[in-house]
C-alpha cells in the first residue's frame, strides 16, 4: 500500500491481535508511530488488550501515559483495557487512577473496577464500589458473587446472591459452582434443589457442576436422580454433559453405568477418555484401562499428563510393572509429555507394591526435582508393606523435613520396628510420640449422608 492511514494500521493491529501474537502487535504499533500517524482510542485499546498476559504487559503504564499525553478520552474501551492491565500487574493504585480519569463512566467501567478489586483480593474495596454504583446490571451481581467465591468468602457470596432480585440460570450456576469449587458439595446440591423449586431451568453448565458435586462427594443416589432430571427435562446431551455423567458414575462406584454412557457417546474428547480410563484404574480394572487407552490412541488423540497418570495408576493397581515402565518411558519419547511429580509418585508406588524397593529408591534419586510428601509417602507405605527398615527410615526422614510430626511416619515406622524385632527403637519411638503428643490417624469409611435421601425425595 503506497498510502496507509490510521484505519489501515488499526485493521492490521486488530488482525494481529486475533492471531494472539503480542510481539507482532507491538512491532506494528511502533511502525505506526514512526510513520507519523497519531494513534486513536481504538489503537491504544487494541494494543493494550493484545499485550495483556504476555511479557509486554509491563508496558501498560507507558500506554497509559501515552494516552494522557495525546489527550485521548479514556472511554470504555481504553479505560477498561488499561484497568485490566493494572489488575494483571497487581497495581491497585493504577487501577483506581484510570477509573478516576474516565470522563463518562458507564456500568461496564464500574464492573471492570469491581472485577479488578476482586481479582486483587481487595474485597472490601470492591464492595464499597459496588454500593456506590449508580446502576447495576446482571453482570455486576455475577462479578460480586464470583469475586467472593474466588476469595473463598462463601458466606458473603451467598449473601450477595440472596440479594439478587431476579436470579437467572447464570447466577444460580455461578453460586452452585462456587460451592463445588470450595468443597461444599452438599450445600451446592441443596442450592440446586432451590433452583429447581424456583422454576429456573438448569443448563448444561449447571448440570455439569451438580454432577461434579455428586462425583466428588460419592453421592451416587443423588447423581442418579440428577441423571433422571436430565432425561425428564429432555436436555440435549453433548460431550461435556456426557463426560460429566461418566465421571460421576465412575467415581461413585458404578463403573458399568459409566461404561454404558461412554459407549453411547457419538463424540468423545480427551476428557471423556481420561474419565473412563481413570474410572477403570480406580476400580482395579488395569487391563481394561490399558485396552481403552490403546483404543484412544487409535482414534487419533494424543494423551496428556492426566491420561498418563491414569494409565500408570491402572498399572499400579493391577501390578503390571513391565507395562508401567513401558508407558512411563513412552510418555516422553513417544507422546512428548514430560514426567511430573504425580507420574513419579505412581511409579514409586508401582515398584513399592511389587516389592522392587531398590528401583523405587533409584527412581527417586534420579528425579529432576525434589520429592514431595506424596512420593516419600508412597515409598514409606511400601516399606511398611515389605518391612524394609533402612528405606523406611529414609522415607520417614524425607517426609519429616516437609511435614513435621506427620502421624503416618510414626504409624508405619512402629509397624516396621515391631515386625523386624527392633524393640528398643520401638520403645524410643513411642516415647517420642508421647512427648510430641502425636495421635494415630483414625480409620474411616465413606457413607452417603442421610441428607442425600432428603435431596432425592425433593428432586422427584
Q: What confidence tens digit (pLDDT) does each residue in 141-173 have?
A: 999 999 999 999 999 999 999 999 999 999 999
Domain boundaries, position 45: 1-104
Give the chain's domain count. 1
Q: Which residues of the chain have pLDDT under 70?
A: 234-235, 384-460
* Torsions phi, psi for 71 (to 5 deg): 70, 30
444 in a domain, yes or no?
no
Q: What span, in angstroms and rounded, lies between the C-alpha atoms of 410 and 399?
A: 11
Residue 71 confidence (pLDDT) = 82
Residue 54 confidence (pLDDT) = 86
Q: What span, in angstroms and rounded, lies between the C-alpha atoms of 458 and 235?
A: 20
Residue 303 confidence (pLDDT) = 94
458 in a domain, yes or no?
no
CA dist list (Å): 141 to 171, 341, 345, 387: 8, 40, 43, 58
Q: What span, in angstroms and rounded, lies between the C-alpha atoms of 211 and 229?
A: 12
Residue 448 confidence (pLDDT) = 57
256 by Cβ neighbours in 10 Å (0-12 / 13-18 / 19+) ranks as exposed
Q: Which of 236, 257, 235, 233 is nearest to 245 (CA)?
A: 257
18 in a domain, yes or no?
yes
- Do residues 177 and 144 make contact, with C-beta atoms less than 8 angstroms apart? no
In the numeric block, which cell numbers belong to residue 353? 507394591
pLDDT one-digit tens code per residue, 28-58 = 999 998 998 888 888 988 999 888 888 888 8
Helices (H), 133-203: 138-150, 154-163, 169-181, 185-198
437 in a domain, yes or no?
no
99 in a domain, yes or no?
yes
Ramachandran area for residue 118 (φ above 0: left; ψ -120 to 50: alpha; else beta): alpha
32 in a domain, yes or no?
yes
209, containing H or E segment? helix 204-216
Give the 3-state secondary structure of residue 104: coil
Residue position matching grid coordinates 472490601: 124
- Do residues 177 and 158 make contact, with C-beta atoms less than 8 angstroms apart? no
Cβ within 8 Å of residue 439, ≥6 positions away = 407
- Do residues 281 and 314 make contact, with C-beta atoms less than 8 angstroms apart? yes
Residue position matching grid coordinates 490417624: 441
Q: Which of 18, 83, 27 is nearest to 50 (CA)?
A: 18
CA dist list (Å): 194 to 75, 270, 361, 459: 41, 33, 53, 10
Residue 318 confidence (pLDDT) = 86
53 in a domain, yes or no?
yes
234 in a domain, yes or no?
no
CA Rg value for the chain: 28
Amino acid at each position: 500500500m503506497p498510502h496507509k492511514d490510521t484505519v489501515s494500521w488499526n485493521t492490521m493491529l486488530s488482525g494481529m491481535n486475533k492471531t494472539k501474537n503480542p510481539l507482532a502487535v507491538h512491532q506494528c504499533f511502533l511502525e505506526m508511530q514512526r510513520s507519523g500517524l497519531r494513534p486513536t482510542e481504538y489503537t491504544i485499546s487494541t494494543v493494550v488488550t493484545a499485550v495483556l498476559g504476555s511479557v509486554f504487559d509491563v508496558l501498560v503504564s507507558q500506554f497509559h501515559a501515552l494516552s494522557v499525553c495525546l489527550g485521548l478520552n479514556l472511554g470504555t474501551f481504553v479505560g477498561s483495557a488499561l484497568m485490566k492491565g493494572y489488575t494483571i500487574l497487581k497495581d491497585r493504585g493504577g487501577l483506581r487512577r484510570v477509573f478516576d480519569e474516565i470522563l463518562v463512566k458507564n456500568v461496564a467501567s464500574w464492573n471492570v473496577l469491581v472485577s479488578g478489586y476482586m481479582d486483587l483480593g481487595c474485597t472490601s474495596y470492591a464492595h464499597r464500589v459496588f454500593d456506590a454504583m449508580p446502576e447495576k446490571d446482571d453482570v455486576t451481581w455475577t462479578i460480586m458473587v464470583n469475586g467472593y467465591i474466588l476469595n473463598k468468602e462463601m458466606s458473603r457470596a451467598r449473601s450477595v446472591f440472596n440479594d439478587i432480585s431476579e436470579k437467572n440460570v447464570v447466577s444460580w450456576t455461578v453460586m452452585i459452582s462456587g460451592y463445588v469449587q470450595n468443597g461444599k458439595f452438599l450445600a451446592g446440591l441443596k442450592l440446586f434443589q432451590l433452583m429447581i423449586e424456583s422454576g429456573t431451568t438448569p443448563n448444561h453448565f449447571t448440570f455439569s457442576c451438580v454432577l461434579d458435586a455428586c462425583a466428588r462427594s460419592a453421592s451416587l443416589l443423588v447423581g442418579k436422580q440428577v441423571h433422571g432430571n436430565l432425561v425428564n427435562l429432555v436436555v440435549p446431551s453433548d460431550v461435556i454433559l456426557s463426560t460429566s455423567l461418566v465421571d460421576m458414575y465412575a467415581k461413585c462406584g458404578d463403573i458399568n453405568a459409566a461404561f454404558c454412557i461412554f459407549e453411547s457417546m457419538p463424540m468423545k474428547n480427551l476428557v471423556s477418555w481420561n474419565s473412563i480410563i481413570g474410572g477403570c484404574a480406580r476400580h482395579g480394572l488395569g487391563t481394561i484401562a490399558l485396552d481403552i487407552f490403546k483404543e484412544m490412541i487409535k482414534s487419533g488423540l494424543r494423551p496428556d499428563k492426566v491420561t498418563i497418570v491414569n494409565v500408570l495408576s491402572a498399572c499400579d493397581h493391577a501390578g503390571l510393572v513391565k507395562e508401567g515402565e513401558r508407558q512411563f518411558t513412552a510418555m516422553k519419547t513417544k507422546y512428548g509429555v514430560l514426567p511430573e511429580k504425580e507420574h513419579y509418585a505412581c511409579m514409586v508406588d508401582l515398584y513399592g507394591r511389587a516389592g522392587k524397593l531398590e528401583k523405587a529408591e533409584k527412581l527417586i534419586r534420579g528425579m529432576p526435582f525434589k520429592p514431595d510428601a506424596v512420593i516419600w509417602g508412597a515409598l514409606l507405605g511400601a516399606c511398611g508393606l515389605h518391612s524394609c527398615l533402612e528405606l523406611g527410615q529414609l522415607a520417614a526422614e524425607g517426609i519429616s523435613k516437609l511435614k513435621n510430626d506427620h502421624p503416618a511416619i510414626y504409624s508405619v515406622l512402629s509397624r516396621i520396628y515391631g515386625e523386624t524385632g527392633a524393640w528398643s527403637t520401638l520403645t524410643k519411638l513411642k516415647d517420642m510420640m508421647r512427648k510430641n503428643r502425636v495421635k494415630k490417624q483414625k480409620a474411616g469409611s465413606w457413607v452417603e449422608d442421610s441428607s442425600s435421601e432428603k435431596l432425592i425425595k425433593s428432586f422427584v
